[in-house]
Amino acid sequence: MELSWSEKFASRVGRVKGSQIRGFFSLTERPEVISFAGGFPDSDYFPREDISRAISELIEEEGRYALQYTPTEGNYELRTFIARKMRREGVRCEAEDIVVTSGTQQALDLISRLLVDPGDPVLVEEPAYIGGMGAIQSCGGEPVGVVVDKNGACPQKMERALSRLEKQGKTPKLFYTVPNFQNPTGYTTTEDRRRKILDLASRYNFLILEDNPYGEICYEGTIPPSYKSLDTESRVIYIGSYSKIFIPGIRVGWIVGAPLLVEKLIMLKQSADLCSGSLGQRLVYRMALDGYVDENLSRIIGLYRQKRDALFYNMKQSFPPEINYTRPQGGFFVWVTFPDYYPPAYEILTHAIERKVAFVHGQGFYSNGEGTHTARFSFSQPSVEDIHKGISRLGEIFQEIRRQEPVKTAINR
């Protein structure tokens, strides 16, 4: 009998979308393209020699364990270390409250699988991180957007959404948020708003999924206390990661949650991949314990700050005043808003790619189809020199748009 694949796929597959970002990575990863697209850390900043030395020691001293399977919930020493780190940030937790995951994306996937049933409303930031929204949607969650402004997610708007849902007899399962230097806007939610949103969570009985990969990459000032540290009802599930502050190539993230949640997450993780890589977990533990991870963090904060400042400087020089952009105090992302009379951002992107510059147009970060005139710029990967070049080239495009000229393409030029 001839095989028809489409009839074989499970119905859940229809809910899974390929990321728009991934879709054009093949294009933007050509070395001649200056890319503000991906939120990858700068590979030049990886502490390669220190890592190489640590791995040699690790394999010599504990290779029997570092190369073997490891418990599903993660290496106990690393979990103990992470719990101590979280306690320093005001979160009451022990090693037993931590699950090590293969990066934050696996954390988002496991938590969505644990909590989200098809048709469940889930509060998300508008705009929100695509990978988090995707994990929720692939479990059938229906995003309900809460607008993010310069003070973060807005509790008033959230309350309006909650009472609308209430009238339909619905409660959201959770609110998914990146409260610090948000992906994609770069905004940080104020402490006042965090407290108000926690109150709403308690009143309306939903959970908060706090995703914090960037909080430690802070260029000036301080960040507010985490939702998790303000949480008195165990409503907050916290996700952290070593991908941005250290290296992503070993896939080490973690979840902090209530005991019953952790127990179920371990069961789900067992079925998902048995365990995360032992070598990577022990490497992180060894280097974090010896202070290398913190040392590395101080160093890269200085370096990323230079890039951010270069981006701001060049945007100021080359972007016309009608283009707005955020000025985040940390993280990797700047959010750009074009005026309505500009062409949509995906069109601008097409012209940019012809001039060998890439960014991400913003619509994919919205659950409601808005954001046609927005874009995410990441300054983490290009060099200061390339930031200058790339933004200047975009400046030329904007000048052409302002002069109402047809934007020059590779063909008609």
109 scored as a contact of a second copy (CB under 8 A): yes
27 scored as a contact of a second copy (CB under 8 A): no
CA dihedral 350, 354, 355, 359 (to 10 degrees): 40
Distance CA 261, CA 257 (A): 6
The secondary structure of residue 229, as a DSSP letter, is H
Buried b (16+ CB within 10 A) or exposed e, 299-332: ebbeebbebbebbbebbeebbeeebebbebbbbb
Token pair recorded at residue 41: 């850390």
* Min separation Cβ 196 and a second copy, Å: 16
* Min separation Cβ 94 and a second copy, Å: 17
- What is the total count of residues that contact a second copy (CB under 8 A)? 89
x/- letters, 154..183, toward a second copy (CB under 8 A): -------------------x----------
Given the rule CB under 8 A, which of 48-56, 146-154, 323-331, 333-341 is the region that contacts a second copy?
48-56
Max CA pair span of the chain: 67
Site for a second copy in 193-232 (CB under 8 A): 202-205, 207
* Min separation Cβ 320 and a second copy, Å: 34
* Min separation Cβ 356 and a second copy, Å: 21
Residue among 274, 289, 399, 402 that touches a second copy (CB under 8 A)? 274
Distance CA 319, CA 333 (A): 17
Mapping DSSP to helix (H, G, I), strand (E, B) and coil, where does residue 236 land? strand
Given the rule CB under 8 A, which of 2-10, 160-168, 304-312, 336-344 is the region that contacts a second copy?
2-10
Residue among 193, 251, 351, 355 that touches a second copy (CB under 8 A)? 251
Which amino acid type is present at position 138? S
Residue among 32, 88, 260, 412 that touches a second copy (CB under 8 A)? 260
Asked if residue 73 lies in contact with residue 266, where contact means CB atoms within 8 angstroms, the answer is yes
Asked if residue 335 lies in contact with residue 217, where contact means CB atoms within 8 angstroms, the answer is no
Cα atoms in the Cβ-side hemisphere of radius 13 Å centred on 160: 7
Residue among 151, 156, 163, 270 that touches a second copy (CB under 8 A)? 270
Given the rule CB under 8 A, which of 43-51, 84-92, 156-164, 355-363 is the region that contacts a second copy?
43-51
- Long-range contacts from 118-123, C-beta under 8 angstroms, 24+ separation: 118/15, 120/172, 120/173, 121/165, 121/170, 121/171, 121/172, 121/173, 122/172, 122/173, 122/174, 122/175, 122/176, 123/158, 123/161, 123/162, 123/172, 123/174, 123/175, 123/176, 123/206
19 scored as a contact of a second copy (CB under 8 A): yes
Distance CA 77, CA 83 (A): 10
* Structure-token match 């504990």, residue found: 62
* Min separation Cβ 355 and a second copy, Å: 25
Distance CA 296, CA 275 (A): 27
150 scored as a contact of a second copy (CB under 8 A): no
CB of 76 or CB of 319, closer to a second copy: 76
Given the rule CB under 8 A, which of 80-88, 209-217, 250-258, 328-336 is the region that contacts a second copy?
250-258
Q: Is 124 exposed, middle or buried (0-12, 13-18, 19+ CB in 10 A)?
A: buried
Given the rule CB under 8 A, which of 175-183, 258-266, 293-301, 326-334 is the region that contacts a second copy?
258-266
32 scored as a contact of a second copy (CB under 8 A): no
Residue among 33, 34, 66, 122 that touches a second copy (CB under 8 A)? 66
Residue among 31, 32, 88, 117 that touches a second copy (CB under 8 A)? 117
* Min separation Cβ 115 and a second copy, Å: 6
Given the rule CB under 8 A, which of 121-129, 218-226, 272-280, 342-350 is the region that contacts a second copy?
272-280
Site for a second copy in 316-375 (CB under 8 A): none
* Min separation Cβ 38 and a second copy, Å: 8
Which amino acid type is present at position 244? K
411 scored as a contact of a second copy (CB under 8 A): no
Residue among 33, 34, 51, 357 that touches a second copy (CB under 8 A)? 51
Of 124, 141, 230, residue with least CA distance to 184: 124
277 scored as a contact of a second copy (CB under 8 A): yes
CB of 10 or CB of 411, closer to a second copy: 10
Asked if residue 54 lies in contact with residue 283, where contact means CB atoms within 8 angstroms, the answer is yes
